[in-house]
Structure 1
Amino acid sequence: MRAEPGPTRWLARVEAKLEAALPPVTAEPAHLHAAMRHAVLGGGKRLRPMLVYAAGVATGADETTLDAPAAAVELLHAFSLVHDDLPAMDDDAMRRGRPTVHVAFGEATAILAGDALQALAFEVLADADAPPDMRLDWLATLASAAGAAGMCGGQAMDMAATGGELELDGLQRLHALKTGALIRASVRMGAIAGGADAGLLARLDDYAAAVGLAFQIRDDILDIEASSEQLGKTAGKDAAQDKVTYVGLLGLDGARRRLLREAEKARAALGPLGARAEVLRGLADFTVARTH
């Protein structure tokens, strides 16, 4: 029997790891467990786990070593989406084509589900079958990406900027934290598992930074061009909430040009890896071309 190609196999691996890590609805508190599973297992691109696997395999890691960081980064991403959708944040009723967690389970349960998913992400890393120094590096990388110097800090900046003015440099700093930090952490955790040296880690960080920016620019374009059905979430939210976006600052054509430039930067950063970076290059291309 022919083996499944890498990304297809990796997707199955991370789904199995997530299923095993999440608490069952047969155990109490069942309502909280159901909300956690609703947040994580309801589909999604799984881009961040794929980046973990692709960076890890490109640098020589075994796939089994990558299961824990791949699942952990997706659990943390799910936590961020649950809290991002809350009425006090972006106040969205739909995520991945389904009711958001606070709509389906109530606001208090959504807050607790997000908290529990964040804790579970670090538990998965702490319990991973990997050398202690590797687990410590993973934990430090993910914690830095999640906190005030990363995703949470970026969200705070985003909320402060809503309805105000922001220059392009400020918008890039905001999204380097809110969106980019977790993407960079995904690549870095995979590369740590592969034993990448400092020079290669720096090149991969350049790749991840460009992919993170491209991802956000594409999000801003899709918010204008795509429907809610295509996106699986409410379209047109940026304009409705008076958010500063790349389209707003650069125009639609300018945002498209910047998107392609970031994709080229990502591909160029992978030069030393040659053919081993094929999937990483493909993920950069997907970020540019995705329709949801």
Structure 2
Amino acid sequence: MAEPFGNASVVLIGQVTKAKSNHRVEKATRLLRNETFPGKTEVVYLGNIASAIIAALESPDTPEFTQLPGYNEQKWQLKTISGPLTVTITSDSYWGFGLLTSGYLNIIELTGPTSVIARLIFDLVASSGWQPWRFKHPSSAQRYLMKRRPDISLDANEQAWVKFVELCKQEISELIEVMENAIANVARKVAAIEILEGWSKSKAEVSVAAARYDLNIANEALADRNLPSVERAIARIEASLIEANPDNAMNEENSGLIIEKSLESIRFDDDLVVNPSDDELIPLVDLTDEE
């Protein structure tokens, strides 16, 4: 069971729906390569789930095959690390002797921060046109799990997928709520002040309106499961609030510089100041030419 915060280890089973021969495994290193790699390689069928996971990871290590594909090019196991997240994916057949793509599943093992896992699962489900926990051949999938993974049932697998999707959605909803409260807070400040040097009330009101508009965009994007759009909207909200907040007092052109109190006065060291009495001790030298 994964907690909202902290680390988690989770195993998810997903139905493969597509697989292409556009990836290779380098025999010398066991590393995943693309089809144009010049070295000695063999064909491997990754499938849509594994391809989507690798594409969604942030700067992952090159995946390494811990189990190489053999005669069956769609039966393999690979592992990669992306920051704090460790990902292991096993591709195996569960129906029809592996003759058709619909007879394959992926066992996805994820270890790392719960929030990172939730985001990965959310992106995977949102970017695809299928629900990975729904199998083309459910009876065969259940028999496979009973034999290979008796600790996981089809129902428990579906609940695990949905749980992480909802967890990510909850975290983003809370972030949007924080932005909504921030907009209300800045709007109250703007309403309470009429004139402030280096700050324009009219410009601030426009910025607050823009933030409210982007808040609606963020909510709509979340409903569409479009997290990149949510993140862009939140970034715009933050920028608008910085512009509007009278505490910053820097949204007016030619507002001048805000000087820290420590720099408002300049202190000279006493031994660098020439006093009138000291001036008398300094000899004068006539540098004019004598006639």
Indicate whether the TM-score tops 0.5: no
Task: Name the TM-score, length of structure 1 as normaliser.
Answer: 0.25
- More helix per residue: 1 or 2? 1
- More strand per residue: 1 or 2? 2
Q: Which has the larger radius of gyration?
A: 2
Task: Name the TM-score, length of structure 2 as normaliser.
Answer: 0.26
The one of the two structures with greater contact order (alpha-carbon pairs below 8 A, sep at least 6) is 1
